[in-house]
Amino acid sequence: MCDWKPEKMVEAHGRTIVREFPEGGIVINQVMGPIVLLLLFSLYSCTPQLPSEQSRAEQEAAKEIAKQRRNLVEQLKWQGIASLTVLDALLKVPRHKFVPQSYRHLAYQNQPLPIGQDQTISQPFIVGYMTQAAEVAPGERVLEIGTGSGYQAAVLAELAKQVYTIEIIPELAEGARNLLHELDYKNVEVKTGNGYEGWQEHAPFDAIVVTAAPDHVPPKLVEQLAVNGKMVIPVGSAFQEMVIITRNKAGVVELRTIPVRFVPMTGKPKP
């Protein structure tokens, strides 16, 4: 830390070398001029980095992150994520905020990443795929099972009127709740609870997105799905498939699509 500053009058070998006027002007004695310049240079060199320089560095870092996110979204487009609203949501959500600091350099790679508690943040392609399959429209209410770090909930929140998300691990639920609040997602409500039970008081839901794999589709989630609503859920244990369930007035229609690998859904009720 440097706190040197010239006094009103500085003496050197009996000679006045600097005189500072109240208005801020400085007069330098010609004889002692080089010494004064050296002193002034020392003062300047220990000045901390200016805010404008810090801001410039932050701006460059933000530009690089935005570039990486755009490149990722372009990759997802080539892989089959065609919905413009979903692609736009993925562009808006800062995935690097939802991964631990030690993994942030990988945030915009198309891969899952650890988030602690033996859980992961899903691969961006899978997030885009599930969001696209759910066909979330403005004004709709969505239930998510398996909040994790909150990334999928944030993507859904860019599309839906309201997102309700349930996480069974208290530490993850609290972390996601705080982060979503920090990022100003006012339309997301996080609950610590058992996803097998759903969230009856807010049902029915226009879409349900499940980010952990049960060995069968939980009946209570089907009951809480609105007519014409869609549920996107990975199902299976050793072998898992993505299942898209559409509820109509006559019942439900299941469509099994791609093979996937998710963490198991915990909290299964005992028979």
Domains and CATH numbers, the chain: 9-45 (no CATH), 51-260 (3.40.50.150)
Two tokens, residue 62: 């933000």
Catalytic residue among 102, 122, 149, 237: 122
**What pLDDT is attached to residue 49?**
55
Residue 241, strand partner residues: 235, 259
Instruction: Please state, rounded to an integer, the average pLDDT across all residues of the chain.
Output: 86
Q: What residues are paired with 11 via a beta bridge?
A: 16
32-40 long-range contacts, Cβ below 8 Å, gap at least 24? 39/6
Low-confidence stretches of the chain (pLDDT beneath 50): 1-47
153 contacts 147 by C-beta, under 8 angstroms: yes
Query: Measured between alpha carbons, how far is 198 from 202 in angstroms, rounded to an integer?
Result: 9
90's enclosing H/E stretch is helix 84-92
Cross-strand pairs, 246: 230, 253
For 136, the token pair is 């979330």
Q: How many CB atoms lie within 10 A of CB 28?
A: 16
Taking alpha carbons only, the member of 230, 236, 238 closest to residue 255 is 230
| Separation between Cα atoms, residue 118 and residue 97, nearest integer Å | 19
122 is catalytic: yes
Q: How high is the pLDDT of residue 57? A: 81
Given this model, what pLDDT does residue 59 score? 87
**Residue showing tokens 């705080």:** 178
Paired strand residues for 38: none
